Amino acid sequence: MTNFARADVRIESTRASVSPDGSHKVVVDHVMPVMEGEADRYSGKMVVRVVDADGTTTLRRPVETSQISVIQTPKWLSPQVAACYYNIKKNAAGTLFVDLSVGGVLQVECVAPARKRAATGKIEALLTNLEVIAYGAQSERVSNVTRNGASVFPLVLKPLPVMDNAPLPLEAFQEVVDALKAWHDFLKAKNVTTWQREVASESFSPDEKHLAVLGCVEGKPVLFIAPLGAASANEGLAKTKMIKLDESIEVNCARDLRTPSSDEATEEDPPSSEGEFGGYRFTTAWKDSQSVEVIKETFETEDQALQKVPYLEVNLAGEMKKLPRAAVPNPANAGSETEPKAKTPASNQSVAPADSY
């Protein structure tokens, strides 16, 4: 490793990796802020640099993750694509792909805990979380729903290989790129410019043939219903339905647009508070294999059971009907009814992308 430092930051660089034709070198810098004389060795900040044969830097792309324990020297997978493996923590790792053909960087992060299969007794790693970040003319983050070790929405992928101290292979890179393009084509066909998935709102049909997940399109609530087990991303998204919901379904992105900033908030219109109890969220639950309900989960107190109130029912054809519902009783005032404050789950926003990825 090559070390060099400034007063407020320390940088450790991987060895330069030369392309097969000798035209480019790739280096990944680990950028570690220095606090009280100590460098943060687990800093998640990196910089990907590409230098041509004349010594000119042709690409410099800052990237970031939650933390880093190890960064390996990049490897060239083809004359145009290099890959760099980094370890985040136990069961979590990432690969940085550098694509000279588009001058972009693709970051793929996987969480894959090891589990023992009851049927075979073998220890296998099963993908439980997949994040894909594309850096090009503009950056795009896609947080995915996984099922049985594969990404099923919005990126439809076969199970990816386990990153066992090595970057993902070229085939995995191409599959992710193809899945991203299929998702971009889906958004373009629907005239979508911004979208957002509501994290932890997904559910799966009893026959394991469909998933449902809430989200926003242009800041308005929607329900996605997508098939499971599609042979390709294009096939899966061709059968995916995007259903507009009325604004009584308060998904996080729509509420964020209505909440004033701290500078704009007044006593009459304060920002909504968050908390595990005394709040609510909307999610999905399948009624049967043909229809899914959009439900409101209310969190009152630690001693009370979670209350679930169905609002809408949607079938696989996209037909929707409103369901009769009762207001949630306020335990502090017997006989009265109240609407609790909104619980704000984490969410991931993405912008309809440029053509590079």
Query: Is residue 304 assigned to a domain?
Result: yes
What was the pLDDT predicted at 119? 75
Ranking 90-99, 135-144, 294-303, 343-352 by mean pLDDT, the lowest is 343-352
Query: Is residue 242 assigned to a domain?
Result: yes
Segment 180-207 shows an average pLDDT of: 96
Partnered with residue 125 across adjacent β-strands are 114
Q: Which residue has the tokens 């680990």?
A: 30
Torsion of CA 183, 134, 198, 209, to 10 degrees: 40
Query: Is residue 245 assigned to a domain?
Result: yes
What was the pLDDT predicted at 273? 33
**Strand duo 347-351 + 210-217: pairing:** unpaired
Given a cut of 80, whether residue 328 has pLDDT beyond it is no
Number of domains making up the chain: 1
Alpha carbon 78 to its chain centroid, in Å, reads 27
Domain range for 246: 191-357
- Report which of residues 120 and 224 the model is more confident about: 224
Query: Is residue 274 assigned to a domain?
Result: yes
Query: Is residue 41 assigned to a domain?
Result: no
- The letter for the amino acid at 171 is E
**Average pLDDT over all residues of the chain:** 85
Query: Is residue 145 assigned to a domain?
Result: no
**Strand duo 129-135 + 104-111: pairing:** antiparallel
Are 167 and 70 a contacting pair, CB within 8 Å? no
Q: Say whether 29 sits in a helix, a strand or coil.
A: strand
Alpha carbon 256 to its chain centroid, in Å, reads 18
For 74-209, where are the E strands, in sequence order? 75-76, 81-89, 92-99, 104-111, 114-116, 123-125, 129-135, 139-147, 150-153, 194-198, 203-204
Q: How far apart, in whole angstroms, are the C-alpha atoms of residue 51 and residue 73?
A: 15
Ranking 159-163, 210-214, 254-258, 276-280 by mean pLDDT, the lowest is 254-258
Q: How far apart, in whole angstroms, are the C-alpha atoms of residue 320 and residue 225?
A: 12
Segment 138-166 shows an average pLDDT of: 94
191 Ramachandran zone, left/alpha/beta (phi>0; psi -120 to 50): left
The model's pTM: 0.83
What was the pLDDT predicted at 162? 87
Query: Is residue 248 assigned to a domain?
Result: yes
**Strand duo 24-35 + 38-39: pairing:** antiparallel
Partnered with residue 62 across adjacent β-strands are 47
Q: How far apart, in whole angstroms, are the C-alpha atoms of residue 257 and residue 260?
A: 8
The per-residue pLDDT for range 54-111, each reduced to its tens digit, is: 999 999 999 999 999 999 999 999 999 999 999 999 999 999 999 999 999 999 999 9
Q: Say whether 6 sits in a helix, a strand or coil.
A: coil
Which stretch of DSSP H or E encloses residue 317? none
Residues with Cβ within 8 Å of residue 103, at least 6 apart in sequence:
58, 59, 136, 356
Query: Is residue 6 assigned to a domain?
Result: no
35-43, long-range: CB < 8 A, 24+ apart: 39/10, 42/67, 42/68, 42/69, 43/67, 43/68
